[in-house]
Structure 1
Amino acid sequence: MIEWQWAQLDNLTPRAVHAMYKLRQAVFVLEQTCLYPDIDEDDLSAYHLLGWQDGELVAYARILAPGTKYTEPAMGRVLTVNTRRRSGSGKKLVAEAIRRSEDAFPDTGLRISAQVYLLAFYEAFGFSTVGQPYDEDGIAHIEMVRPATGT
């Protein structure tokens, strides 16, 4: 069972922050070989969703408040540890991120810059594509929006 932690950076322990950055680096910089500044200014104001299982960080996503990047909140840095992929952890993570975002920012919807190969995965959560695919750090991405609940 995954235990969820939802907090802004100032409310995370140093060990949780270390685990978060270590996992983001392992997935985005090393595994996906994307050389980009993963740690950025958005981390300071973002809400971080950490999924812990048996004391290990196994899932993570970050939510930016409306107006930070887009009109609606933005979900990004979505990942699961490679040993837990295809186990349903990713679906649990996205469902929890949507729930937390809706609780924190009701009636605003949610935006994501999704990797194109995950298009059907995000469509299953109610996201629809916006615009055309584009290259981000050597990986094809596409903007997707999930409308506000009840719209």
Structure 2
Amino acid sequence: MNRRKENECMNWTVKSFKQLSTEELYEIIRLRIEVFVVEQQCPYQELDEKDQQAFHLLGKENGELKAYSRLFESGVVAEDASIGRVIVKESARGKGYGQVLLSHSIEYLEKRGEEKSILIHAQQYLERFYQSFGFDPISEVYLLDGIDHLDMRRRLTR
């Protein structure tokens, strides 16, 4: 199956915290811990009291969560709007889901209408990936939870 057909099989939805079902919340937390804590061997407090203020973008294939990001309007966690917890399940990588996930994340925040820019705290090894979506580095590399990060910003066009 080519990437276009694979991505067409994905069902993308955005929900507020209160709109998430118990099963969806469990899937989100499980995926985030699976990748950010276990796979990346990075013990940190995954639940950070910000989920309740976020919009959650879920990419499901055959009912299973394969891709996810957390979206914030400006003023919630930063002056800019922001995208965080960008994640694709290990078994679903290499199918273009990351590109589609980030495209949907940006599109959602752009449609909010009031956003001027989007901030992301990017893992350094993904700098080129984010640059391909118009994000520019705005900080030096810094260590966050044992992984090199840098802040990147994308100005929104109107």
TM-score normalised by the chain length of structure 2: 0.91
Q: Percent identity?
A: 35
Mapping 1:1-150, distance limit 5 Å: 1-150=9-158
1:40 deviates by 1.6
Structure 1, unpaired ranges of 5+: none
2:6 matched to which residue of 1? none
Q: Deviations over 1:11-48 (max 9, x none)?
A: 11111111111111101111111111111211011011
User: Does the aligned pair in 1 maintain the 2:117–2:155 contact within 8 Å?
Assistant: yes
Runs of 4+ in 1 over 6 A off after TM superposition: none
TM-score (norm 1): 0.95
For 2:67, the aligned partner's letter is A
| Gap runs ≥5 in structure 2 | 1-8
Letter in 1 for 2:90: N
> What are the superposed Cα offsets for residues 119-146 of structure 1, whole Å, 9 maximum, x if unpaired?
1100000000001000011110000000
Matched pairs, number: 150
Q: CA contact under 8 A between 2:67 and 2:88: conserved in structure 1?
A: yes
Shift of 1:105: 4.5
